[in-house]
Structures are given as structure tokens and as C-alpha cells.
Amino acid sequence: SARIIYDFLEQFREMGKTILLSSHSMYEVERLCDTVVIMHQGKFCAEGKVSDLLTEYNETRFEDLFIHLTGGMENESN
């Protein structure tokens, strides 16, 4: 079912439609989004194009970027 949703969202993007997606899955974000806002504990950590943020923070995977910006597992108990 996830594949059907991905394909559906891809079709909308190809039609030039804007999609607002909220997700905790960094794989989905990296795969589906062009521009992102990363939030942690109600505050904006970063905003921009996925590729630009990966370059800016010297990361190759979006999940690693998210962990880098939010402190990862260390902040889960706080």
C-alpha cells in the first residue's frame, strides 16, 4: 500500500501540485520531498531543498541529517 501512495504523490508532483507532507519517516521525506522543514520539539531546525541541506551539513542520507540536527537518540528521553 505504501508503494501505491508513493506513486500517487509522485503523479501529483509531476503535475506541478504542491503537497504538504508530515512524516516521521526520513526515507519517505528524502524520496518524496523537494523542500523540507525539519522541526524538533516545536522549533524549526532547518529549512530548504533536501539536496542543499545534505550538502550544507555534509550528510549523504536524510536520516543522518535529521539525527545530526536533532541530537538523535540522546534527546529522546528529554
So what's the pLDDT on residue 73? 59
Give the three cell numbers for residue 44: 524549526
pTM: 0.74
Evaluate whether 49 touches 35 at the Cβ level (below 8 Å).
yes
pLDDT tens column, 38-64: 999 999 999 999 999 999 999 999 999
Mean pLDDT on 12-18: 88
Phi-psi region of 21 (alpha: psi -120 to 50; beta: other; left: phi over 0): beta
Tens digits of residue pLDDT in 20-36: 889 888 888 888 888 99
Residue 75 to residue 78: CA distance in whole angstroms: 5
